[in-house]
Amino acid sequence: MGILDGESKKARVGMERQDERLRSLSEANDRLMAKNHALAKALTRATQELTKAKAQLNQLAGPPMTFATMIRVHAANTDEQGVQHASAEVISGTRRMIVPVAANVQASRLEAGRTVLLNENMVIVDQHDTDTLGSVRTVRQVLDDGRLLVADSGGNVTLVRRAGTLAKENVNTGDRVSVDSSVRFALTLIPVEDDADLVLEETPDVTFDDIGGLDEQIERIRDAVQMPFLHRELFERYDLKPPKGVLLYGPPGNGKTLIAKAVANALAEGSGAGSGVFLSVKGPELLNKFVGESERLIRMIFRRARERAADGRPVIVFIDEMDSLLRTRGSGVSSDVETTIVPQFLSELDGVESLDNVMVIGASNRIDMIDPAVLRPGRLDVKIRVERPKAKQAEQIIRHYLTDDLPLTPGIEAKALTSVLVADIYAVSEHRHLCDVCDEHGQWSPVYLADVVSGAVLKNVVDRAKTKAVKISIESSEPAAIGVNLLAKAVQEEFEETRDAVLDADPVQWSRINGFEAGHVTRIRPTAQ
């Protein structure tokens, strides 16, 4: 019995050891399977990356493709096996060619005027949309077969086909279309723009009495503009031709636009033939991405001026920001569009001499950027610099906005508050020290608030004080008085904003725009706090 028990015990132990060994082997097998699975995934990822890299390499090493303009399908047929054999007439650059069409490209879907892609073997492999860029031409005539007679800005007429995208469009005489560089296709119909929005026609309500601190400039522009209109007989008696144009230039915010509007208002009041007309144009709005459009807009402006002046009414054509439109040719700015815009403007300006009732007034912050041909005598004859206001002029300007009919501190008149305000703004002291600037010679100079003040800044300071008074009145439910404290806070806020703007500005551009007299500024540094 004992022997049997011993044998049985040994058998159990052996079985347990065998089970344990099997579990170990099973666990090892699981681990190996997991490793194999991970290796398989890693191998798959590596294969994918290699495939992607190979594709990228093949793309980089592939031959270049060529763009062409589709003219028409030259020939097309399908053989017994259903394989397409087609060719098409295309233009690539200046080359007119007949090229095969790839079997995967349906020749029936190739449209005239569309852009097609040619491979290295000069086979059409793909078709793209019609190019949306091109020269703008005016439709002179629509022929019975759909072709168009179009004219450029010089009046030169060209016969063109319609691109496929334009084939179903209703095109009429006078419409504008974009034309491809090969001058064979009218590509797209240019939407009609409301040109009236570009030219604001009005009789301004601004008078010379509304302008303060610019007595000298007002007298000069009256002599140049108002006097020739109002005293024609005397000018004829002395054989004196009035100037064609006037340029108002100087730092921004000092009343150039106000002067032009006041002139128009004065002419309207003094004209015996009816009210005068003020055509206001912003230079940047005349710049158009389409070739020939800016020139067309210039012609449109002067045509409208001639129409308004035909009945004897004085017409002022005011072009704001003239430097953006009439830049020096060859400067490389604006993609050299000035090479066509400047001659068109000069042509129109030279034609003004036939009409005694049209005067061109331009305004610019950067006279150095305007083409010299525009500034020569016989065109913009009179050039008036509108300087920054000095303390005396500043008092005149402020008195237009700070008046005795406002809720002022009891016992203090507007004149006294104006004097205190001007003294604060024009103080040459540390609390009005904006920054220091360095010129091209390495010389540092201090810049104070007075050095950059303008008529617009002065108005803004008074408006800040008025706004503060309104807020206090709302909070307290009682009218708040405008006094020295509110004006001082307004000046301080204007000073801090101006200082931050100057420190963030490009030194060279800032000095040129602001007409800074310390030479070409190369560096700007903050003041020591």
278 and 320 housed in the same domain: yes
449 and 345 housed in the same domain: no
216 and 322 housed in the same domain: yes
CATH number at residue 356: 3.40.50.300
Q: Give the full edge-to-edge strand order of the sheet including 199-202.
A: 199-202, 277-282, 315-320, 358-364, 245-249, 382-385
Q: b/e for 477-496, b at 16 or more Cβ within 10 A?
A: eeebbbbeebbeebbeebbe
What's the average model confidence in pLDDT over 89-106? 88
In tens, the pLDDT along 113-125 reads 888 999 888 999 9
46 and 95 housed in the same domain: no
477 and 457 housed in the same domain: yes
pLDDT at position 308: 80
324 and 459 housed in the same domain: no
User: Global pTM?
Assistant: 0.63
H or E segment and range at residue 266: helix 256-270
pLDDT at position 272: 46
Q: What burial class does residue 328 get, using C-beta atoms within 10 Å of its C-beta: 0-12 exposed, 13-18 middle, 19+ buried?
A: middle
Q: Looking at 77, 111, 127, which one is the last position of a domain?
A: 127
352 and 224 housed in the same domain: yes
Q: Is residue 446 part of a domain?
A: yes
119 and 140 housed in the same domain: no
204 and 266 housed in the same domain: yes
Q: Looking at 385, 420, 447, which one is the last position of a domain?
A: 385
Q: Is residue 82 part of a domain?
A: yes
204 and 344 housed in the same domain: yes
In tens, the pLDDT along 116-149 reads 999 888 999 998 887 767 778 888 888 888 888 9
Cα Rg of the chain (Å, integer): 39
Residues in Cβ contact with 203 at an 8 Å cutoff, skipping those fewer than 6 apart: 264, 265, 268, 275, 276, 277, 278
In tens, the pLDDT along 365-420 reads 888 888 888 888 878 888 999 888 999 999 999 998 999 999 999 989 999 999 99
CA 274 to CA 233: how far, in whole Å? 18
pLDDT at position 273: 44
The closest of 399, 427, 385 to 214, measured between CA atoms, is: 385
Q: Is residue 99 part of a domain?
A: yes
pLDDT at 431 over 60: yes
Neighbours of 520 (CB within 10 A): 13
Residues in Cβ contact with 186 at an 8 Å cutoff, skipping those fewer than 6 apart: 137, 139, 148, 150, 160, 161, 162, 163, 166, 171, 177, 178, 179
CA 442 to CA 510: how far, in whole Å? 17
Q: Looking at 127, 146, 168, which one is the last position of a domain?
A: 127
Q: Which of 126-140, 198-212, 222-236, 237-251 has the lowest mean pLDDT?
A: 198-212
Range of the domain at 283: 196-385
51 and 186 housed in the same domain: no
The length of the chain in residues reads 529
Sign (positive or negative) of CA dihedral 367, 372, 375, 379: negative
269 and 156 housed in the same domain: no
Q: Structural domain tally of the chain?
A: 5
Q: b/e for 41-80, b at 16 or more Cβ within 10 A?
A: eeeeeeeeeeeeeeeeeeeeeeeeebebbbbebbeeeeee
- Determine if residue 442 is left, alpha or beta; phi over 0 gives left, psi from -120 to 50 gives alpha, anything else beta: left
Q: Is residue 228 part of a domain?
A: yes
Can you list the positions of beta strands (E) in 199-296? 199-202, 245-249, 277-282
Q: Is residue 467 part of a domain?
A: yes
